[in-house]
Structure 1
Amino acid sequence: MHQLAGRLNSLDPTAGEALRIVSYFDVLIARGAGLDGLLRGAAVLSGTAAGAEIRGRVTRRAPDGQPLTEPADPRRRSPLRSHADWTVWLERDGEPEPNDEMIVERLALGVELLQARRRPEAGLDAIVDPARSVDERAALLAKRRIDPSTPVRLLATPVDTEVRTDAGTDAPSAIVPTRYGLLRATLDLNGKLDTPKPVGYGTWTRADRAPESWDAAIIAFRLTDASTPAVDATDLGTMLLLAQAYDPQTPHEDVRTLAGLDPRAADILRTLVEADSIRSAAAELGMHHSTVQARHEALTRALGYDPRTNLGKMRYIAAALLLRLTDPTGSGRT
């Protein structure tokens, strides 16, 4: 994430700063920061006071991290986010800064998750938590009047999307920290949800084994892109087992090699793997046959295997899939 922020910052400073804000709050939330920690983070990033009112109690922090006890001037609140039980805001004189909206949005997501954690009996995040036992999840499901043996699947979407049922109501969902940042988990009981894109569909499983479906949904979501905005983990077949066993923090050598290719070389490699022959690959690429033959030989040396053999194609396809789970850009989504 930090590497991606650096690259984006060189191309578009605004985009790079926005990604840094997202990463900052994701780390805070993943580490279990409380309200004070979230407010301190918002105040430091914005350079102005940040506040929250939760069920009538107001908490504010200054940019130096110190608590503010004097009454807040409501005329300085810009911008803010509201919920039935809480409101968060920044307090800035004059016009908002370019990243104020992003800071308040991530602060609001953190507070929403914090409140859900304090009501675990009502939080879907507890049902998809693999650290909880099957018996604990069964008890939580019972409070939702869901039989533990009921077939369900989880959907993974960006945190700012809402999934609706076929009746037009909000489907049960929660913001959940993952190793790829915050995602929204939504419980699907009948396969009839009105789902915005991008979306990753988990596998169908017993309700008391919901974490298995959620893990598959996260992988499917990571594999979405502009051309494939919806991916069903069931369609991955045995490749899902490979993806689940993979640790993106320690990428395989095949994955590292693919990641090191420049975009043109990566495109030539993909075409060589998919084409019936080197001649047809050259025609698709608009290159001379001998040039593509030379690139094929160079790529074979770089990869350590021939990507046009059956075994080589298998290695390439597996590495390309795992690269999608490793790449901090998140499979090319914008």
Structure 2
Amino acid sequence: MKELAGRLAALDPDAGAALRVIAYFDRLLEHRAGLEALVRAAAVLSGSPARLVDTERGVRMRVRPDGRRADDDGPVDPAWPRAPLTPGADVAVRTAGGALFLEHPGPPDGVHAMVLERATAAVRAVLERTRGRAPADDPALVEVLLDASAPLPVRLRAAARLGLDAERPVRAVASSDGGARIETAAAPAPAERTRTARTGIGPAVDLADLPRSWAAARIALRLTAEGTARDPGPRTVYADDLGALTLLADAVGPGTPAVPDVAAVERAVTEVPWAAATLYAVAVSPSLRAAAAELTVHHSTLQERLTHAEHLLGWDVRAPAGRLRLQLALAVRKLRQSTPTDAPAGTQVTETAG
């Protein structure tokens, strides 16, 4: 390249200079030079101060022609030659965002244009390598981040590519449609948003511990319900609220034989249409009156229903021990109806300020 540049310089000084510019920036990239080295090269080769501004990534630097860095937040002259950091983008004349500038008036000549073009291309490559973000719904990267078998350095690189802050706690969210979501702990609770799918929410953890949050989220998802009369219960369940039920989830699945109490609940739900909602309300409400209010029935109506339900079940659900027995039977029934999911089918990353 050096020999070719010399020959071209003898024939066409501008062509030889342009080729030397190309070779110089290629060498910088080959040696994995940083942003400041690239901006310095642009300033020295052009003989003009060079300014890099990327507001999205928070990068601002300025280097003088003598190679010294001298950051300046002053206004950008609309007459300065510039090149956008996004290929094909048009940088507005009066904005300093997302561009590399050469601080001299007028359009660039041949060599200056080549310096600006090659320096900008090199800056783009370094920004992508060091500060780039993958699409927030990149399923491959999210799958790596949730995979406990993936080496920690690999998972942390995936997190960086997804733009997740290593200093902020995150949590995994599993959806009934097979999707996965990674949220910062400061994000609004999923129950507060409009969702079409049922969701299980894992505990807030450090990035390195996301596989544990994902495993807990999948357990929580198995205990969600449609929230209907036939399938009463919450559509969103937090793993933090499950306590010892997580141990039960490890032991119970679709292949687990139905114990007598679960079979009794199934029989009651099949025989009377109000049984599912009534038994659930009694199991989770602090009192029978609260359960009646939840069901919007009179207290005496609930008492009559429970008498019938207890006959079908074979035990007293109004006694403390019987209520616990009912709670366990409902939980086991729900876990037998659900299938643990090992990998997300679709993914999304949500990061909010705060």
Output the TM-score relative to the length of structure 1. 0.43
* Larger strand share, 1 or 2: 1
Which has the greater radius of gyration? 2
